[in-house]
Amino acid sequence: MSNGFHVEYLPARNKTPRPKRHGANTIDDKKQAVGSSAVIPGSNLLNRNRNVSEMLADLPKPPAWHELGICRQADPEIFYPSHYGPTQTADAKKVCAGCDVRAVCLQWALDNNDQHGVLGGTTPRERKAMAKEAAA
């Protein structure tokens, strides 16, 4: 009984045989694998030799005092405005004024030379001036 399909054997057009690789990688394969990893965003997450929990453990954790800050209840965008003028930072400074960990936050920002955001009620420019005063 036939199913209606007939398959004929056709010889390959290219007469040169394929090289036998038997699992050996070529230098080009290694260059492609290494070279393309920098192009792919998040390629370090594709490392199959590491467990996901190990990767999560390597992520930086916020300081313990950060849990006590009232900034956790506010919109984070007010602490990172596009410009650090008085009108753009007023809301963030109001939130910082009533925070119990404001001094710790400011000291952390100064110790880590944080150049972004309103931290401890100060802008990056104000913290830079404070650091210069402390160094002098």
Q: How many CB atoms lie within 10 A of CB 104?
A: 17
**pTM assigned to the model:** 0.55
Domain edges within the chain: 27-58, 64-135
Query: Quick one: average pLDDT of 24-29?
Result: 56
pLDDT value for 66: 83
pLDDT in tens, 94-120: 999 999 999 999 999 998 888 899 999
> Residue 4 carries which DSSP code?
S
Angle at CA of residue 99, ends 96 and 100, nearest 5°: 145
